[in-house]
């Protein structure tokens, strides 16, 4: 008698499920290793500066092989480009004026979120900014692209402000946004060089934004912007009088 041969295909759903789980586990492990590489790179930069970052030391500190770093991210240039990308991408997704927010308070809320992120790792963001500015000066395309995207964030914010009826649009969003970004970079520069603290930085960038918006404000919102500027001026005085820690 011939035995009936049961085709192996009857186990195909089980095999597919196991394969899917295997792929998911591998992807999760790769993502975890990649994140560990980036977190360790930020730690090195925060402690020793951007110049101290090299792939071999990074591999040793992260307990990951050099080939793994190259496979998951790339060489040092690719690593730095990814760190720069991570420094700006969260802020590109912040909505400047939300549906449920007080539109006049939008600059305060927006910069509070940025400064809260900076407070989590001040040494890293200081080193990252200084390195990025140096890279821009020598024409590094990744750093230049990050600068352009920073300006784009400010331009988008001005376009949202115009759509919400806060400003008239007589000054172009590109010009207004460019000035807001310029003020931001000047304040960031002073903070990165330890001329001012984070509280003063937040006050300056917020006041600079209100000043730019007031220049093109509608009749309804101009007095409110001026009121915010006065309160920020008073706060700046308080910050200056605080004893240094």
pLDDT tens for 142-198 read: 899 999 999 999 999 999 999 999 999 999 999 999 999 999 999 999 999 999 999
Residue 217 pairs in a beta bridge with: 167
76-241: which CATH number, 3.30.450, 1.20.120, 3.30.70, 1.10.357?
1.10.357
Structure-token pair, residue 131: 């390195």
Tell me phi and psi for residue 98, to 5 degrees.
-85, 160
SS3 content of the chain, % helix, strand, coil (to 5): 80, 0, 20
Residue 244 has a pLDDT of 57
Average pLDDT value for residue range 57-79: 93
Contact 232, 211 (CB under 8 A): no
* Stronger pLDDT, 243 or 194, i.e. the higher one: 194
Q: Rounded distance, CA 173 to CA 157, Å?
A: 8
Residue 7 has pLDDT above 90, yes or no: no
Report the half-sphere exposure of 231 (CA within 13 A, side-chain side). 10
**Which residues of the chain does CATH 1.10.357 include?**
76-241
Structure-token pair, residue 120: 């989590």
Please state, rounded to an integer, the average pLDDT across all residues of the chain.
88
12-74 maps to CATH 1.10.10.60: yes
Residue 18 has pLDDT above 80, yes or no: no
Average pLDDT value for residue range 126-155: 92
């Amino acid at each position: 008698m011939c035995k009936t041969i049961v085709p192996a295909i009857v186990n195909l759903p089980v095999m597919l499920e196991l394969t899917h789980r295997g792929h998911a586990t591998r992807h999760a492990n790769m993502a975890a290793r990649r994140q560990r590489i980036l977190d360790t790179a930020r730690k090195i930069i925060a402690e020793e500066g951007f110049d101290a970052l090299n792939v071999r030391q990074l591999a040793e500190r992260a307990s990951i092989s050099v080939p793994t770093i190259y496979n998951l991210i790339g060489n040092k240039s690719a690593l730095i480009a990814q760190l720069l990308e991570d420094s700006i991408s969260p802020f590109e997704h912040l909505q400047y004026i939300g549906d449920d927010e007080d539109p006049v308070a939008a600059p305060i809320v927006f910069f509070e979120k940025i400064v809260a992120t900076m407070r989590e790792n001040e040494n890293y963001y200081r080193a990252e900014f200084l390195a990025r500015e140096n890279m821009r000066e020598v024409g590094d395309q990744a750093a230049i692209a990050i600068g352009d995207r920073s300006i784009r964030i400010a331009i988008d914010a001005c376009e949202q402000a115009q759509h919400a009826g806060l400003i008239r649009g007589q000054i172009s969003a590109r010009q207004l946004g460019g000035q807001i970004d310029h003020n931001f970079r000047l304040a960031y520069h002073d903070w990165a060089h330890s001329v001012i603290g984070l509280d003063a930085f937040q006050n300056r960038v917020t006041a600079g934004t209100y000043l730019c918006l007031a220049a093109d404000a509608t009749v309804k919102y101009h007095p409110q912007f001026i009121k915010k500027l006065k309160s920020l001026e008073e706060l700046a005085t308080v910050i200056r009088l605080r004893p240094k820690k």
